[in-house]
């Protein structure tokens, strides 16, 4: 019995190297020797809905973290979980991080939507699991009829543009009917059709606020410009031919901003690969389990946002 107890005690003692105890090395600790790791985790309620988003205060937080950090590695991994927020802040956070880091990887345990997706466009690589998702860049804005609610800028633009497109198609159809069935010359039939459709559409357009429409259109153009800049400069930089890189960036950003049916649409890793995004599967990354534990520990955190560097 005494011999068994002695053996158990020996197992508890860590092996020594040159008379010193050897520290336990995990995949995450190995990563921290060559890369900094920044947590950007936003709190959720019990239903899984985010209760905070990317804001101007986060720009200051990240700036202070970098300023106070004595040494930085060449590479950075961001563990990001967010529903989005202020697009200007998301862009400035990435710009700030780029002053210190040549290579940035973003790991997404669950969501990096809206402005979080914008940050991902400015990364060099993503790590995504089977439940990870990005989202469209059709920027949200205050609902014109309810200041406490938000609506996609794309919904506002599409409602008016769609109405005008439909009116134009109907105008051509009506002019053709007048010409074919009544024998009215084409120029006159076009004028009559235009007048008729204008009288039909004008009352509906008058109900729409032109200022709101212009605001929505500007937000979408801003998302296009920032997104394209990030894609060309970072996510697609491995494409050596400049014109090809620009064409692919145009294609991607058009889809992200204009072509999804809903702001909450889940864009998963296989679809992103088809768009030339650089993505590693989370289940093949050796330190993923440890990153996931950091994420799980902060889900529903009552402390609010978690924006901090992991210590080595």
Indicate if the alpha-carbon torsion angle 261, 267, 270, 275 is positive or negative. Answer: positive
Question: Residue 98's pLDDT is what?
Answer: 97
Q: In this structure, is the dihedral angle defined by the CA atoms of residues 170, 172, 174 and 180, taken in order, positive or negative? A: negative
Q: Which residues of 231-260 are buried (b: 16+ CB within 10 A; e: fewer)?
A: bbebbbeebeeeeebeebbeebbeebbbeb
3-state secondary structure (DSSP) of residue 279: strand
Cα-Cα-Cα-Cα dihedral sign, residues 211, 58, 39, 233: positive
- Fold for 32-135+266-309, please state it: 2-enoyl-CoA Hydratase; Chain A, domain 1 (3.90.226)
Which helix (H) or strand (E) is 307 found in, with range? Answer: strand 306-309
Query: Over the stretch 14-53, which tens digit does the pLDDT of each residue have?
Result: 455 555 555 679 999 999 999 999 999 999 887 888 888 9
Query: Six-digit token pair at 114?
Result: 């809206």
Pairing between strand 75-81 and 146-152? unpaired
Average pLDDT over residues 187-200: 66
Give the residue extent of every domain in the chain. 32-135+266-309, 146-211
Of the given ranges (122-126, 167-171, 273-277), which has the lowest mean pLDDT? Answer: 167-171
Could you tell me the pLDDT band of residue 127, with boundaries at 50, 70 and 90?
A: very high
pLDDT single digits (tens) 134-160: 999 976 655 555 555 555 555 554 544
Nearest to 253 by CA among 278, 273, 277, 223: 223
| Better-scored residue on pLDDT, 227 or 47 | 227
Among 136-150, 156-170, 260-274, 292-306, the range with the most confident prediction by mean pLDDT is: 260-274
Strand ranges (E), 35-171: 35-41, 75-81, 103-108, 111-112, 125-128, 133-134, 140-143, 146-152
Lowest mean pLDDT among 136-145, 163-172, 177-186, 296-305: 163-172
Percent of the chain with pLDDT over 90: 53
The per-residue DSSP string of 180-195 comes to HHH---HHHHHHHHHH
- Please report the pLDDT score of residue 64 as a whole number: 97
Higher-pLDDT residue of 15, 96: 96
State how far the Cα of 153 lies from the Cα of 139, in Å rounded to an integer: 6
Indicate whether 186 pLDDT > 50: yes
The alpha carbons of the chain give a radius of gyration, in whole angstroms, of 27
Of residues 217 and 135, more confidently modeled: 135
Per the DSSP assignment, residues forming a β-bridge with 152 are 140
């Amino acid at each position: 019995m005494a011999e068994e107890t002695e053996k158990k005690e020996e197992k508890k003692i860590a092996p020594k190297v040159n008379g010193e105890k050897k520290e336990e090395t995990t995949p995450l600790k190995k990563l921290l020797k060559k890369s900094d790791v920044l947590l950007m985790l936003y709190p959720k309620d019990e239903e899984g809905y985010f209760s905070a988003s990317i804001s101007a205060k986060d720009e200051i937080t990240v700036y202070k973290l970098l300023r106070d950090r004595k040494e930085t590695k060449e590479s950075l991994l961001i563990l990001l979980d967010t529903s989005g927020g202020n697009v200007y802040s998301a862009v400035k956070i990435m710009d700030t991080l780029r002053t210190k880091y040549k290579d940035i990887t973003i790991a997404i345990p669950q969501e990096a939507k809206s402005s979080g997706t914008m940050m991902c466009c400015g990364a060099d690589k993503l790590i995504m699991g089977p439940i990870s998702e990005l989202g469209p860049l059709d920027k949200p804005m205050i609902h014109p009829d309810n200041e406490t609610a938000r609506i996609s800028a794309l919904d506002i633009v599409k409602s008016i543009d769609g109405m005008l497109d439909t009116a134009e198609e109907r105008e051509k159809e009506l002019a053709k009917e007048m010409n074919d069935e009544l024998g009215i010359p084409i120029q006159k039939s076009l004028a009559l059709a235009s007048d008729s459709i204008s009288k039909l559409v004008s009352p509906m357009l008058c109900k729409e606020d032109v200022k709101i429409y212009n605001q929505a259109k500007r937000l979408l153009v801003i998302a296009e410009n920032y997104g394209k800049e990030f894609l060309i400069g970072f996510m697609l930089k491995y494409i050596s031919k400049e014109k090809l890189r620009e064409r692919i960036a145009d294609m991607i950003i058009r889809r992200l901003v204009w072509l999804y049916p809903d702001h909450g649409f889940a864009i998963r890793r296989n679809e992103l690969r088809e768009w030339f995004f650089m993505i590693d599967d989370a289940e093949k990354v050796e330190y993923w389990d440890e990153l996931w534990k950091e994420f799980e520990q902060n889900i529903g955190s009552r402390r609010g946002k978690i924006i901090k560097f992991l210590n080595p």
